[in-house]
Amino acid sequence: PTSFHDDSDEDLLNV
Amino acid sequence: MATPPEEDSLESRINKATNPLNKETDWESIKAFCEQLNNELEGPQLATRLLAHKIQSPQEWEAMQALMVLETCMKNCGKRFHSEVGKFRFLNELIKVVSPKYLGTRAPELVKKKVLEVMYSWTVCLPEETKISDAYQMLKKQGIVKQ
């Protein structure tokens, strides 16, 4: 199955 | 009592594959988990959420088995899974395991070492997933990765 391409993401965690 | 996950769901397979009571690695369940996540529309997204949770377990054997599942899937599951793992949404969960500001002071040493090893291996064999090297560089800058 080709899933819709979801490019949503978060920012890199700063540690 | 929460209803148990259905028998062949991703959740039940990851529970079996990472069960702390396993005497040895349950390769059958690991293989089944990898195959299943590829066959489901939202498989990679759900699989990475389940894996992140298991890797953050304070139980060393459960977390180490989860890392084995992650490595196996990275070798066998292909692009859709690679791009989910290559998102900060997942990488941040690994960073929490090694960062003293989050779980780093409680996470088992062996698990932290393995997390850094697999992240480094991905910077080498998955250069197109640039966020992975961003995350790894940040850990180096913060001294979490020893030079």
Minimal C-alpha gap between B92 and chain A (Å): 6
Q: B146 vs B129, which has greater pLDDT? A: B129
The answer, yes or no, to whether residue A15 has pLDDT greater than 80, is yes
Cβ burial B130-143 (10 Å sphere, 16+ → b, else e): ebbbebbebbeeee
What's the pLDDT score for residue B108?
97
* Interval B45-89: pLDDT, tens: 999 999 999 999 999 999 999 999 999 999 999 999 999 999 999
Residue B104 and residue B112 in contact, taking contact as beta carbons nearer than 8 Å: yes
Minimal C-alpha gap between A6 and chain B (Å): 9
What's the pLDDT score for residue B147?
63
Cβ–Cβ below 8 Å for A12 and B134: yes
* Interval B81-138: pLDDT, tens: 999 999 999 999 999 999 999 999 999 999 999 999 999 999 999 999 999 999 999 9
